[in-house]
């Protein structure tokens, strides 16, 4: 009984906190630009409004156009439940759960791109093609980061992998994972979440045709993915296991906020890269993770 | 109940199928089903924990008594063969019916039975000579199946290429078995790990079996053969026949001693196959070629598992070794299932539209919803997505590799790159199958053929549904298949028999079930919410463009362009572009072709050199008798001089 | 002591990758300058006691590598009116991956070498190998004369790092001689770059093949 309650609380935490992050990012951007900006809770209002709206669906689309966002959202939620929350650990934890998380992210990508292709629009096709192509490189970086964490901790269970700090390689790993976070969540410099109508878009262009509740689910899922990567990055770097529960929780919350503000700052200070430079940046992220792996390897051997 | 009578029943059924099949299609189907089901039952008896079955004949065939052995490993492959063999037979009855193909359908039934029979014989036979005979029969019968539609030149070329490549492999195997027999003094096969002088022979076996398995770079026959064969044959070829190469590898690395480098070499071959196979698949425009290249990738993953198992065995029976072998053997099943499903789906599309060219299709989900759903299921499974079966086997392989990396032994140097390559190949597979599924089934029809498509009939759908159910079942309840896998692993190395899975397979299964339930729940919830709010249909918004045409959609080529460009160094795509010119341009065209690089840039030039040399040599053979007499005299003189100088020592 | 030295060498190895991955010539020049300065500090860190001569060499190195050579290169770049490597022989992503592989191989190779125990756990030897390799990749893989000069400078940094192994026994004169050669070399290249630019209207060194007759 108590476990069920815990899972429900955990779900509520993820669901409720996630939309805060894009709001925070927008606030930071507005602050840097000297504007007042939309309220931090803007996404909550948007979601509530979208949830009540009716749906327009392309004449070409199959029912999977609505099923796709739903499955993607559930997959992200599942990944969120597996990810440990600092001292709390994951809702479920077993050997190899980290791979399930990685593949649940892939499920979300599969469903989002599939739904995007439903419309037959060339724009959405472009977005989907970019999404799956850049995922190839960010997947390499992500799996290398996971290798590095698991070599560092000697375990392939998320709870144990994320408890200690990643040691000497923490800086490298932080850099690599931050780049992966930006790429996977389609933020500047990989993508510009503010423009909706350009040929250069990735995520936003894939969801052009969604409306009403499915769009709400898509937006909420994107926010949750951002939170997921921020938590992963924070836990990979911080030595949470050394601290008491309260310290660790505060540190985690602080780190997630810091990451979010970092995203906002990057977005204010950098321009989107030309598409030809994106592979270079992701390769750099991969190499950072690779060198973190080497450091973890050497650190453990000594 | 022992497997013996069941095996006999299966053999009799298949022989009867060969005899009566061409004339009596219905009776043939019944015979094939009975035969495959009894083969399945026999294999399951052994895999379920029964004793191994062994039988020696009193009579001799070709100078050797028949020696059949049904153990965990051969049982594992017979299960897959039976499932795909029976589903393919059902599918073929509608797909390659006597009405549509009055000449080739009877032949198809004959060779189908013959191919299954020869494969079962190879899997059971425990005698080198008979193994070779069975192997050759298997190659020949699959050749005839590939060339069923031999009126087409392309099909004949594909068949020849297959036959040539297959025989190149058989040549290596011939060398392998003959040397083995010479060194052991008998054709009998069995565990002989203690005889160290046999170790180098594994390289011959590796060369021979790798050709059949389709490992890069000896996969050259595979794309054209799979693409040009009828789809049920492609399913059997890709699902089971290439696994015979894997069977050979697993079998003989288990029985024979192996040199220390073998594991590393097989992992390297597997990693190259996984990465390049899927890169080639992504760039294809022909649906069946795409699926064929994807088989190269999956065989690569299987090979990584086998190589890892060898490394584990070499490093004091490390526990991750058995994990890798288990994952790899489970992937044999899984790939057999979802690849058969995808080829069946491709066959349905081909049947309905008459083209394999993806850029001529589109929007087929409307006319063929069942095929679309099954193809999507297969795509998700082959991309290794939970909660389906592909994830379970890839998860096992990943865990084995990660454990090997954590061991910090020398094996980690192979395991770490392998993990990264498997992950990258997984992401590329996802891109490949989004491309395939989306371009064929989603959006608007691009040609008239695609508009007039029709759903396939109940037999074809039934076959797809049955195989799809298998994919879901293994994904949701992996613990059920574990004993069979454990049994096969235990056959490979008796010390590795572990009936309790070394990893939390039950937990994973539970998580997968939860996920499946939640996925369905989420879809239902959102679906109802959308309908409650009111759902209207409108034109695709497309940034406000109001008269889109079907040809404006993103094509497969453009979808793959970005990631394919990263592999242009090996793909060597050839483009011919005709730009629109002038004020009122009439025609513009872009044709893109991805060649089979190894074949066209390596083997064909090499073969051309050989041909040039032989043409030069042929000038000596002109048919004029008096010159031949001069040759004789010259040859004799040379011999005489050699003898006179003391001969060749 | 050796912690700090390792940090500096690690920084230099990271800068390698930066040099390999960036297409803008100014940032490559800056990277090489920072790398030279980081390595210039190394003698001060490695010596356990303060020595005027070593300090002098360090200061001169810092000045030459951090200020003088970059200034010369920037001026050459301005006269040639070029600031980007457009189409390298080896692309940026492949050269990055190559550089990373070379770095890993250097670490692995250094472990196999029979080194003195005091050098065994520092990054001196792997760093030197990695720098030489990176310089080599840049020299081979770029077509603009200025990028190739940068490659040459990284190569030289690598050789200098090897020299650190013998820091106790290298005479000051040799060190300063090398530095002088380097400066003169860059100076001459600056002039040549200008001439090539005027003669061919391009800095593509592949075009120099027409001079072979």
Q: How many CB pairs under 8 A join A and B?
A: 247
Cβ neighbours of C100 in A, within 8 Å: 287, 290-291
A103/B365 CB distance under 8 A: no
Number of Cβ atoms within 10 Å of the Cβ of B649: 3
CA–CA separation, B353 vs B347, rounded Å? 10
pLDDT score, position C85: 72
| pLDDT level of residue C203 (50, 70, 90 thresholds) | low
Greater pLDDT, C55 or A55: A55
Closest CA to A130 of B82, B565, B86: B565
Cα gap A149→A31, rounded to integer Å = 35
Contact list in B for residue A274 (CB cut-off 8 A) is: none
CA distances from A144 to A138, A151, A184, B277, B563 (A): 10, 10, 15, 22, 20
Length of chain C: 213
In 3D space, the residue among B47, B30, B173 whose CA is nearest the CA of residue B499 turns out to be B47
3-state secondary structure of B92: helix
Instruction: Determine the 3-state secondary structure of B57 from DSSP.
Output: strand
CA neighbours within 13 Å on the CB side: how many for B316? 3
Q: Give residue C1's pLDDT band: very low, low, confident or very high (50, 70, 90).
A: low
- Decide: A161 and A149 in contact? Cβ < 8 Å: yes
Look at B562 and A133 and tell me if their CB atoms are within 8 Å: yes
Taking the C-alpha atoms of residue B118 and residue B140, their distance in angstroms, rounded to an integer, is: 10
Who wins on pLDDT, A113 or C162? A113
- Of B237, B180, B177, B178, the closest CA to residue B213 belongs to B237
Per the CB < 8 Å rule, is A284 touching C100?
no
pLDDT digits (tens, 9 = 90+) for B361-413: 989 999 999 999 999 999 999 999 999 999 999 999 999 999 999 888 888 88
Higher-scoring residue by pLDDT: B423, C80: B423
> Looking at chain C, which residue has its C-alpha nearest residue A302?
C121
Q: Closest residue of B to A286, CA-based?
A: B420
Q: Mind listing the pLDDT tens digit for each residue in B78-115?
A: 999 999 999 999 999 999 999 999 989 999 999 999 99
User: What was the pLDDT predicted at B461?
Assistant: 95
Give A50→chain C minimum CA distance, Å: 42
User: Given an 8 Å threshold on Cβ–Cβ distance, is A287 in contact with C104?
Assistant: no
pLDDT at position C3 is 77
Local structure of B546: helix, strand or coil? coil
* Predicted pLDDT at B207: 95
Q: Above 90 in pLDDT, residue B474?
A: yes
- Least confident range from A237-246, B283-292, B423-432, B634-643: namely A237-246
pLDDT per residue rounded down to tens, chain A (302 residues):
788 898 899 999 999 999 999 999 999 999 999 999 899 999 999 999 999 999 999 988 999 999 999 999 999 999 999 999 877 888 889 999 999 999 999 999 999 999 999 988 888 898 999 999 999 999 999 999 999 999 988 889 998 888 776 666 888 899 999 999 999 998 888 887 776 655 667 888 888 889 999 999 999 999 999 999 999 999 998 888 888 888 989 999 999 999 999 999 999 998 888 777 889 999 999 999 999 998 888 775 44
pLDDT at C87 over 80: no
Using CA atoms, how far apart are residues B516 and B472, in angstroms rounded to an integer? Answer: 10
CB-neighbour burial class of residue B167 (10 A; exposed 0-12, middle 13-18, buried 19+): middle
User: How many other CB atoms sit within 10 Å of the CB of residue B410?
Assistant: 13
A interface residues, C as partner, C-beta within 8 Å: 279-280, 283-284, 287, 290-291, 294
In this complex, the residue of A280, A287, A294 whose CB is nearest that of residue C92 is A280
DSSP B56: E
Taking only the tens place, the pLDDT of each residue in B320-358 is 998 999 999 999 999 999 999 999 999 999 999 999 999
Q: Which chains touch A (3 or more CB pairs under 8 A)?
A: B, C
Asked whether residue B54 carries a pLDDT value surpassing 70, the answer given is yes
What would the pLDDT profile of B289-303 be if each residue is shown by its tens digit? 999 999 999 999 999
User: What pLDDT sits at residue B588?
Assistant: 84
Percent of chain B with pLDDT over 70: 99
Averaged pLDDT of chain B = 92
User: B122: closest CA among B159, B78, B164, B80?
Assistant: B78
Residue C208's pLDDT is: 63
**pLDDT (0 to 100) of residue B339:** 96
pLDDT of residue A301: 47
Q: Are B428 and B277 in contact (CB under 8 A)?
A: no
Q: What is the pTM of this model?
A: 0.92
* A-contacting residues in B 209-268 (Cβ below 8 Å): none
Other beta carbons less than 10 A from residue A274's beta carbon: 10
Interface A-C: count of C-beta contacts within 8 A: 22
Whether the predicted pLDDT of C25 surpasses 80: yes
With residues binned 3-state (H G I as helix, E B as strand, rest as coil), the percentages for chain A, rounded to 5, are 75, 0, 25
Please name which of B134, B121, B149 lies closest in space to residue B7, comparing C-alpha atoms: B121
The Cα–Cα gap between C138 and C99 comes to 10
B63 touches chain A (CB under 8 A): no
Residue B567 to residue B272: CA distance in whole angstroms: 13
Q: How does DSSP classify residue C66?
A: I
Number of C-beta neighbours around residue B209 at 10 A: 27
Residue B293 and residue B90: Cα distance in Å, rounded?
A: 26
For B518-545, what is the mean pLDDT? 90
Contacts of B451 in chain A (CB under 8 A): none
């Amino acid at each position: 009984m108590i476990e069920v309650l815990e899972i429900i609380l955990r779900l509520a935490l993820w669901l409720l906190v996630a939309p805060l992050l894009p709001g925070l990012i927008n606030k930071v951007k507005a602050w840097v630009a000297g504007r007042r900006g939309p309220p931090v809770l803007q996404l909550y209002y948007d979601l509530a409004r979208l949830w009540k709206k009716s749906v327009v669906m392309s004449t070409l689309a199959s029912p999977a156009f609505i099923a796709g966002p739903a499955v993607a959202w559930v997959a992200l939620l599942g990944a969120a439940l597996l990810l440990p929350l600092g001292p709390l650990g994951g809702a479920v934890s077993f050997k190899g759960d980290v791979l399930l998380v990685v593949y649940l992210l892939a499920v979300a990508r599969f469903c989002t791109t599939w739904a995007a292709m439903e419309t037959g629009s060339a724009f959405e096709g472009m977005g989907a093609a970019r999404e799956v192509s850049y995922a190839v490189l960010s997947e390499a970086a992500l799996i290398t980061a996971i290798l590095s964490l698991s070599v560092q901790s000697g375990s392939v269970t998320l709870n144990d992998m994320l408890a200690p700090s990643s040691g000497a390689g923490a800086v490298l790993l932080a850099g690599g994972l931050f780049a992966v976070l930006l790429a996977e969540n389609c933020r500047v410099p990989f993508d510009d979440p503010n423009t909706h109508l350009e040929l250069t878009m990735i995520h936003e262009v894939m969801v052009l045709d969604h409306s009403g509740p499915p769009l709400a689910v898509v937006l909420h899922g994107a926010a949750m993915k951002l939170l997921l990567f921020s938590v992963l990055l924070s836990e990979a770097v911080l030595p949470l296991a050394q601290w008491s529960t309260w310290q660790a929780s505060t540190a985690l919350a602080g780190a997630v906020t810091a990451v979010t503000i970092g995203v906002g700052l990057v977005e204010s200070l950098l321009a989107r890269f030309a598409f030809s430079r994106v592979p270079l940046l992701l390769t750099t992220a991969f190499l950072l993770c690779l060198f973190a792996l080497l450091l973890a390897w050497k650190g453990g051997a000594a | 109940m022992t497997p013996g009578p069941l095996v006999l029943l299966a053999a009799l059924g298949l022989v009867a199928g060969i005899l009566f099949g061409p004339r009596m299609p219905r009776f043939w189907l019944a015979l094939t089903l009975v035969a495959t089901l009894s083969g399945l039952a026999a294999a399951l008896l052994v895999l379920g924990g029964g004793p191994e079955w062994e039988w020696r004949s009193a009579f001799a065939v070709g100078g050797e008594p028949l020696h059949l052995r049904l153990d965990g490993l051969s049982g594992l492959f017979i299960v897959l063969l039976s499932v795909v063999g029976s589903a393919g037979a059902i599918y073929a009855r509608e797909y390659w019916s006597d009405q549509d193909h009055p000449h080739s359908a009877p032949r198809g039934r004959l060779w189908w039975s013959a191919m299954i029979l020869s494969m079962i014989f190879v899997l059971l036979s425990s005698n080198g000579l008979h193994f070779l005979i069975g192997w050759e029969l298997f190659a020949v019968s699959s050749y005839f199946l590939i060339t069923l539609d031999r009126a087409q030149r392309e099909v004949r070329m594909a068949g020849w290429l297959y036959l040539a490549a297959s025989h190149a492999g058989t040549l290596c195997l011939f060398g392998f078995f003959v040397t083995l027999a010479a060194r052991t003094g008998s054709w009998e096969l069995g565990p002989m790990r203690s005889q160290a002088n046999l170790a180098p022979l594994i390289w011959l076996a590796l060369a021979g079996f790798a050709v059949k398995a389709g490992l890069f770079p000896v996969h050259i026959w595979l794309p054209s053969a799979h693409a040009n064969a009828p789809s049920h044959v492609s399913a059997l070829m890709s699902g089971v026949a290439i696994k015979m190469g894997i069977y050979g590898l697993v079998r003989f690395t288990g029985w024979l001693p192996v040199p220390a480098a073998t594991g590393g070499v097989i992992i390297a071959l597997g990693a190259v196959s996984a990465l390049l196979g899927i890169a080639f698949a992504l760039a294809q425009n022909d649906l069946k070629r795409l699926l064929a290249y994807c088989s190269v990738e999956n065989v690569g993953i299987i090979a990584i598992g086998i190589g890892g198992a060898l490394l584990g065995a070499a490093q004091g029976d490390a526990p991750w070794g058995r994990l890798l072998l288990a994952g790899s053997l489970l992937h044999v099943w899984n790939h057999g299932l979802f690849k058969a499903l995808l080829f069946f789906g491709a066959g349905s599309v081909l049947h309905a539209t008459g083209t394999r060219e993806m850029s001529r299709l589109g929007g087929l989900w409307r006319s063929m919803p069942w095929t679309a759903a099954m193809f999507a299921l297969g795509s998700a499974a082959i991309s290794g997505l939970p909660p389906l079966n592909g994830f379970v086997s890839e998860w096992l392989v990943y865990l084995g590799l990660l454990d090997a990396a954590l061991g910090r032994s020398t094996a980690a140097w192979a395991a770490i790159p392998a993990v990264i390559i498997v992950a990258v190949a997984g992401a590329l597979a996802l891109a490949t199958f989004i491309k395939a599924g989306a371009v064929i089934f989603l959006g608007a029809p691009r040609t008239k053929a695609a508009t007039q498509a029709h759903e396939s009939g109940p037999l074809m759908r039934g076959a797809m549904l049955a195989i799809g159910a298998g994919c879901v079942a293994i994904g949701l309840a992996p613990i059920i298949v574990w004993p069979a896998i454990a049994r096969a692993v235990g056959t490979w190395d008796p010390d590795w028999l572990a009936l309790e899975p070394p990893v939390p397979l039950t937990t994973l299964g539970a998580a997968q079930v939860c996920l499946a339930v939640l996925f369905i729940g989420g879809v239902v919830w959102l679906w109802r919410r959308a309908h409650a709010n009111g759902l209207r249909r409108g034109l695709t918004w497309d940034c406000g463009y109001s008269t889109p045409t079907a040809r404006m959609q993103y094509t497969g080529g453009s979808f793959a362009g970005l990631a394919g460009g990263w592999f242009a160094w090996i793909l060597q795509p050839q483009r011919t572009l005709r730009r629109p010119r002038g004020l009122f341009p009439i025609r513009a065209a872009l044709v893109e072709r991805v060649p089979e690089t190894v074949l066209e840039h390596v083997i064909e030039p090499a073969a051309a050199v050989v041909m040039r040399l032989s043409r030069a040599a042929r000038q000596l053979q002109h048919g004029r008798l008096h010159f031949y007499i001069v040759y004789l005299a010259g040859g004799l003189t040379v011999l005489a001089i050699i003898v006179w100088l003391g001969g060749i020592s | 002591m050796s912690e700090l030295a390792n940090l500096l060498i690690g920084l230099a190895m990271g800068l390698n990758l930066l040099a390999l991955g960036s297409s803008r010539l100014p940032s490559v020049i800056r990277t090489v300058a920072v790398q030279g300065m980081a390595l210039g500090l190394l003698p001060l860190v490695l010596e356990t006691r303060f020595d005027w001569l070593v300090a002098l060499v360090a200061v001169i190195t810092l000045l030459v590598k951090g200020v003088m050579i970059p200034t010369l290169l920037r001026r050459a770049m301005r006269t040639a009116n070029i600031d980007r490597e457009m189409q390298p022989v080896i692309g940026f992503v492949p050269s990055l991956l190559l550089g990373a592989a070379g770095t890993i191989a250097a670490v692995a190779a250094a472990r196999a070498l029979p080194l003195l125990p005091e050098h065994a756990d520092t990054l001196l030897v792997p760093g030197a190998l990695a720098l030489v390799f990176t310089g080599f990749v840049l020299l081979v893989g770029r077509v603009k004369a200025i990028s190739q000069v940068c490659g040459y400078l990284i190569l030289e940094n690598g050789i200098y790092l090897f020299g650190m192994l013998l820091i106790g026994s290298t005479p000051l004169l040799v060190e300063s001689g090398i530095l002088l050669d380097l400066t003169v070399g860059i100076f001459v290249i600056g002039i040549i770059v200008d001439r090539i630019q005027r003669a061919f209207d391009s800095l593509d060194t592949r075009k120099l093949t027409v001079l072979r007759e």
